[in-house]
Amino acid sequence: MPAAQYNLALEQGATFRLTITWTDNASAPIDLTGAHAHMQIRTQHANTDTGSPLIDIDDTSGITLGGPAGTIEILIDETLTAPLTVSNALYDLYITMPNGDRDRILEGSVTIDPQVTVA
C-alpha cells in the first residue's frame, strides 16, 4: 500500500504533536508491538540532499508506538523546531515490523512558520 499523504505545519520554537492510527484495509488497527519507527525532515528528497536532515527522530527520540492500538505519536519539541530557518521541507515516516518488513506509511510537505517571540 502506498504511503498516505499528510502535510505538516510546524511553528518555529513551538512543540509539534500528532497522533495517528495505522489501520489495515478493514480499518482495524495494525499491531505495532515490537515495531520501530523512523522519521526525517529534509529540505529535499534524500537522493538529492547531501546534508544532514533538519529533524531526525525515531521510537527512542520523539515517536511513541501504541502497540496493539496501532497508534503512532509524533512529538517534535521546541528544541528541534527552534533552529529551523527554512520555510518548506519534506518528510516521510517508516515503520519496521518485527519480521523485518519496512513500510513507508506517511509522507508529505512540511511548512515552517517562523517565530517572532524568542524565549
Q: What is the pLDDT of residue 92?
A: 97
| Domain annotation covers residue 92 | yes
Domain count, the chain: 1
Does residue 84 contact residue 54 with C-beta atoms inside 8 Å?
Answer: yes
- DSSP helix/strand/coil, 114: coil
- C-alpha–C-alpha distance, residues 76 and 49, integer Å: 21
Q: CATH number for the domain including 52?
A: 2.60.40.10
**Chain segment 69-91, per-residue pLDDT in tens:** 999 999 999 999 999 999 999 99
| Domain annotation covers residue 73 | yes
Q: How large a percentage of the chain has pLDDT more than 70?
A: 97
Confidence band, pLDDT 50/70/90 cuts, at residue 49: low
pTM of the predicted structure, to 2 decimals: 0.92
**Chain segment 12-44, per-residue pLDDT in tens:** 999 999 999 999 999 999 999 999 999 999 998
Domain carrying residue 32: 4-113
| Domain annotation covers residue 71 | yes
Pairing state between β 4-5 and 55-58: unpaired
- C-alpha–C-alpha distance, residues 2 and 60, integer Å: 25
